[in-house]
Structure 1
C-alpha cells in the first residue's frame, strides 16, 4: 500500500507555561508522519521554503521514512503556526501561512490519497488540490480531514460548500466536533454526521476529545471511547487519530470500507483513540511508532497497511 498525503507543512512554535519550543508540524504533515511511523509507505506533497525551518520539516519527515516530493520546495518561506498552550494543555493557534502548488507536478503512483486542513480551503493551492483528487485513477481511495481554522478558510458558507464537494469525493472523512460546529452551526453532532455520510463517503469519523469519537459507515455506527492519558498538550492529537484510523481501515482496500461491521468500525476507532492518547502525553505533534501501539492493549482487528 502506497499513500500520498497532500497539504500544508509548517513549524509549530509552541508557547507553553514552561517556555517556547519549535516543532515541525502542519496537519497533513503530521498525518504523513503518523502513517510512516506505523510502517506505511508514504509520500508527501507540500509547500516548503528553502530555509532553515523548511529543512527541519523535511529532515523530520525523512527521519520517519516519508518521501517529500521534489515539487514541495516551492514556497518563498516555510509557514509557521504559533500555538499558545494553556495550563490544561489546550492549544490556541495563530498562523503565518501561504499555500500554493506548482502547475506541473509529477505525482507518484498511490493506492490512497489523503488531503486536508488549510490546504483544502486556502487559495490558490486549494483549487489545485481538488483538481488532483478529481483526476485520480479509478480504484484509488481518498481521505479528507478539514481540520477547520476559521481565520484561514474564509466565508463559512463558501467553506461549507468546498468541504461538501471534497467530502463527496472522499471514501473516508474525519472531522472534530469543532469542525462540525463551524460547518453546520446549530446542528447536533449526530445529525451533522448523518449529513456528511449522505454525501457519499464510506466512513465518517467525528471526534470530540475526551468525550471520544463517533464513527459511521453504510452498515451502522460505532462509538469509540477516548483512552485516558496524562496530557502534555493536544497538538497533533487529531492528526494521529487520522493516521491510525487510515492504518486500521485501508489494509485490504476499498472492499473493507464497503463491508465494515460495527465491531470492525469500533476496533478502528479504538486503535485511533490509542494513537491520539499517546500523542497528547508528550509535547508537540509526535505520533506513535507501531511498536508503541503494539505495546498497548488496543490493536486493530485486521491485517493492515504493512510493508
Structure 2
C-alpha cells in the first residue's frame, strides 16, 4: 500500500506529562525542592523522532496551565509540528518520580480528569490524515473517555498508515486487567508492538517472551519488539526471531529510554522505506538494523539526565552513521 502523506512522516498521538523530581541539592529538613521536567511517553517519542530528523506531528491536548507551556516549548524547540494539537480547559497530568540507586524511575501519577484523556471524535479526525505512520499508546490509550475513541480511530488510520503501539503499562494507575482485555484489539490494529520485558510480564503472566510474541502475532501484529534493558532487545517478525545484543553504557538514569528506542526504530524503518504499508516487504535484516540504531538512541538518552534524546548530528558523531552501526545500546 502506498503512503498517502509525506514520505516518512509520523504522527504521534498521546499525552504530555510533567515529570516531577526532587532536587536534593536544594532540599532540606524544612522542605523539598522539586523540579518539573516535560515528559510523557508519546511526547518523548515525538521529541526523539523530530530531533533525529523525521517529520513529526504531535496530537496532544494541552491545558492552559504552566506545565502546558513547558510541554509546548520543548516540543516546538525540538521541531515537532503542533498545529493539530488541541487547547483544553482540563489540567495537565503530573508524575512524581522516585529514582533508585541505579537510576531506575518509579512514578506516582496525578492524572484524574486531566486534559490528556478527554479526546472527542472530532479532535481525533486529525489522527487519520497525511502520515506514513501513526504511533500511540501509553496512558492515552487506556484512560477514559478518550482511550476507546483513540482505539476506534486506529482502524481508520490503518487504511493508509503503518500503526505502531507502545502499551507502556502503568499497573499502579490502570489495572492490568484493562490492558489485557484490550490488547487483542490493539494487536489487530497494530503493525508494530514495542514493549518492555516488564510490560510482557504484566500483559502475558506466566508466558515466556517467545510464547507471548506468537500470541500477539496470531492476534494480528507482524512485528513485536521487546526491549530487555542492558541485555538488548528481542525482535520477532512473524515468528522469525533474533536477539540484538547491548553494549555497555554508563547510565545516568533510564527516564525516556524506551520512548527513545521506539523513536529510533520508527525513524530507521522510515529511512528504509517501510512505513506507510503493512510491513509486507520488511526483512529480519532490516528490522535488526533498525533495532540496533534504536538501541543506540536509547543508550544516548540513558547517558544523560532525564528524557533528553539526542539530535541527529549527535547520534551520528557518537555512534556512527547507518548502515555501519555498532551493536545495540541501552
Q: TM-score under structure 1 normalisation?
A: 0.92
- 1:169 and 1:201 in contact (8 A); partners too: yes
Instruction: Look up the match of 2:308.
Output: 286
> CA distance change for structure 1 residues 202 and 299 in 2, over 3 Å: closer, same or farther?
farther
CA contact (8 A) 1:46 1:101 kept: no
Q: How does 1:144-293 map to 2 (within 5 A)?
A: 144-154=165-175, 156-218=176-238, 220-251=240-271, 252-254=273-275, 257-293=279-315
Aligned with 2:174: secondary structure? coil
Q: 2:10 aligns with which of 3, 23, 29?
A: 3
Which residue of 101, 116, 119 corresponds with 2:137?
116
Aligned length, in residue pairs: 301
Q: Deviations over 1:252-288 (max 9, x none)?
A: 1356932333322221111111011100111110111
Whole-Å Cα distance in 2 between the matches of residues 221 and 298 of structure 1? 25
Asked if structure 1 preserves the Cα contact closer than 8 Å seen for 2:11 and 2:135, the reply is yes
Structure possessing the higher radius of gyration over alpha carbons: 2
Q: Please list the CA deviations of residues 173-226 of structure 1 after superposition, one character each: whole Å capped at 9, or x if unmatched.
A: 100011111111111122112222222222110011111110111372121122
Please identify, of 49-58 and 158-167, the stretch whose mean Cα deviation from structure 2 is larger: 158-167
Q: Which moved more, 1:227-236 or 1:64-73?
A: 64-73
Contact 1:225 1:273 in 2 (8 A): no
Native 8 Å contact 1:37 1:288 kept in 2: yes
Runs of 5+ consecutive residues of structure 1 not aligned to the other structure: 303-307
For 2:31, the equivalent position in structure 1 comes to: none
Distance in 1, matches of 2:45 and 2:104, equals 20
The Cα shift of 1:52 comes to 1.0
SS, match of residue 64 in structure 2: coil
Superimposed CA distance per residue, residues 105-161 of structure 1 (whole angstroms, 9 cap, x where no aligned partner): 25142121001101111111101111221222623111000000002223x333212
Deviates more, 1:234-243 or 1:64-73: 64-73
Q: After the TM superposition, which of the residue ranges 273-282 and 253-262 deviates more from structure 2?
A: 253-262
| In structure 2, distance between residues paired with 1:260 and 1:33 | 25
**Secondary structure of residue in 1 paired with 2:265:** helix
Change (3 A) 1:113 1:151: same
3-state SS of paired residue (1:67): coil
Q: Secondary structure at the match of 1:167?
A: helix
Over 3 Å counting, the alpha-carbon distance change for 1:162 and 1:18 in structure 2 is: farther
Q: 2:99 aligns with which of 85, 105, 108?
A: 85
Please give the per-residue CA displacement for 1:15-46, whole angstroms capped at 9, x wherever unaligned: 36556422100000001111100111111111
Using the alignment, how far apart are the partners of 1:16 and 1:148 within structure 2?
27
3-state SS, counterpart of residue 253 of structure 2: coil
The 10-residue stretch of structure 1 (1-10 or 134-143) with the greater mean CA deviation from structure 2: 134-143
SS of 1:258's partner is: coil
Distance in structure 2 (CA, Å) of the matches to 1:130 and 1:291: 36
RMSD: 2.0
Distance 1:187 1:73, change over 3 A: same
Match of 1:46 among 47, 50, 60: 60
CA displacement at 1:246 relative to structure 2: 0.5
